[in-house]
Structure 1
Amino acid sequence: MKKANVLYLLPLLALSGCALSENLSPPPNGKTVKVAVVKPADVDILPMDVIYRSEKCRDKIFTSTGAINSRAGYHLLTVPFNPEKGSDRVSNNIALDGGGQCEWKLSNIKFDFQYHNMKKFGAGVKRSIPSDIVFVFDRNAPPRGDGHYDDVYGVIEIKKITIL
């Protein structure tokens, strides 16, 4: 009786080892995108949220009616900015191809910034709510946003951001 139960479990055990690894493994000499920010003295540049997507390793999602759909899988990384020597810039390079068994591709990069000294805005202002910028590299919408984007190519320089 016990041998029969074990025989039924063997196919399930064999299938459990077939899952794809969701680890990132960018090619060593692959293309990267450099995100560099000139850091004003009174602003904190927070780490980037980098999202890679995979058509190969899809996520199952439930609709409001209970039906099961799938969407491109995603892998979230938090990547710090590194100070550039002799400069007021912070930057980091992000791989366009995340590689791995899931064949991850860069989807979007979001970074936040906020004022760290709120006294200059008046005694009643106690904290700064971070503002963000999102760069989208594919046709997948980022986790938040209104879906309206400007298509831009090449080196992008944002000269001034007004925080209201």
Structure 2
Amino acid sequence: MNMLVRHAMGSLLLFSVSGCAQNQTLSPPPGGEEVSITVKVPPNLAAEPMRVMYRSEKCSIKRSGADWSSYEEDGYLSTTIQPQQQGQSDIYEAKLAINGGSRCQWQLSNVTFGVTYANTTHFGDTVRAGPGGGIIVMFDQHLPQQRSAFEPTRKVSGDLLIRKDYYPWINEQLIGKHENVAWIVGEGEIYSYYRAPNARKLTFEPVLHADYVVYSVESKVQKVGSYPQNTYPDGSVTADGNKPSFKKLQAIRLSKGNK
């Protein structure tokens, strides 16, 4: 049985291919190397489905340049895998084959995973879950599909343990569609980026400080100098055009002697 499927889904799973090798399936060789990814999920959060990208030098894609010249780049294949809960614990795991096999000899390129809100009703009936709490790990020289120009990539030589603090952020949007969105605020952008070509075990342990909520309300009109108002857990307010400050949230919590 397909090793990737056996570990991640427990049943036959087909994968869609973009590029020259359409309608192919992954066929990892039995006993091949794998990457184990575990996520320790805090209360009220859920492990997001993992978005996995494989690439192939053998099944390349022809592209056209701006000057109508042609060139080739590695073919790519993407799939989504749901990590599985380990017993009754808060640990969720998936195992990904390094060598995806088939005639294209697919090789693991990157994976996107993380946590999101499983339930937002404790914030209010109209609050929906938003982004935040994401991790992208690259195993080759390619950039991932989702990329922030402002977030640095951390390079890791071996296995990877990621332990990060996060805070709830309730953002009330008034312009356009009126809605309330529950974000997860961490250090940096929505995703944190790592390049770990030799990693065979990835562990993500997000720590959600649920009692330290920051609330934002957008301005009702769009004009110069009119910014959203951020109200922090200590009652302080900012309206400087920036999203809530992770450093300020950390300082508020630590000032109360919490770790």
Q: TM-score of the superposition, structure 2-length normalised?
A: 0.51
8 Å CA contact 1:52–1:105 kept in 2: the answer is yes
8 Å CA contact 1:23–1:101 kept in 2: the answer is no
Code of the aligned partner of 2:59: C
* 1:37–1:20 Cα change, 3 Å: closer
Code of the aligned partner of 1:116: A
Q: Would you say 1:155 and 2:159 are equivalent positions?
A: yes
Partner of 1:85: 87
Which whole-Å deviations, capped at 9, do the CAs of 1:17-37 have from their partners, x for residues lacking one?
xx8684321111001010000
Code of the aligned partner of 1:146: S
Calculate percent identity across the aligned residue pairs. 32
* 1:124–1:63 Cα change, 3 Å: farther
- Name which structure has the greater RCO, CA cutoff 8 Å, separation 6+: 1
Q: Secondary structure at the match of 1:114?
A: strand
CA distance in 2, matches of 1:60, 1:49: 24
Q: TM-score of the superposition, structure 1-length normalised?
A: 0.77
CA distance in 1, matches of 2:110, 2:165: 20
Partner of 1:73: 75
CA distance in 2, matches of 1:151, 1:25: 29
Code of the aligned partner of 2:58: K
Moved over 4 A (4+): 122-125
Which whole-Å deviations, capped at 9, do the CAs of 1:132-156 have from their partners, x for residues lacking one?
2111000011111136311113332
Partner of 2:26: 24
CA distance in 2, matches of 1:90, 1:20: 32
Q: Secondary structure at the match of 2:77?
A: strand
Partner of 1:127: 128
Q: Secondary structure at the match of 1:78?
A: strand
Partner of 1:56: 58
CA distance in 1, matches of 2:64, 2:127: 40
Code of the aligned partner of 2:82: P
Q: Secondary structure at the match of 1:108?
A: strand
Code of the aligned partner of 2:78: L
CA distance in 2, matches of 1:80, 1:42: 18
Q: Which consecutive residues of structure 1, in runs of 5 or more, have no partner in the other structure?
A: 1-18
Query: Which protein is richer in helix relative to its size?
Result: 1
Which whole-Å deviations, capped at 9, do the CAs of 1:32-86 have from their partners, x for residues lacking one?
0100001112112111011110011011233344443321100101111011014
Code of the aligned partner of 1:128: A
CA distance in 1, matches of 2:25, 2:121: 44
Code of the aligned partner of 1:127: R
Q: Secondary structure at the match of 1:159?
A: strand
CA distance in 2, matches of 1:115, 1:20: 36
CA distance in 2, matches of 1:161, 1:71: 38
Q: Would you say 1:36 and 2:27 are equivalent positions?
A: no
CA distance in 1, matches of 2:155, 2:85: 29
CA distance in 2, matches of 1:93, 1:20: 24
Code of the aligned partner of 2:44: D
Query: Which protein is richer in strand relative to its size?
Result: 2
Q: Which consecutive residues of structure 2, in runs of 5 or more, have no partner in the other structure?
A: 1-19, 167-183, 186-259
Code of the aligned partner of 2:87: K
Q: Secondary structure at the match of 2:163?
A: coil
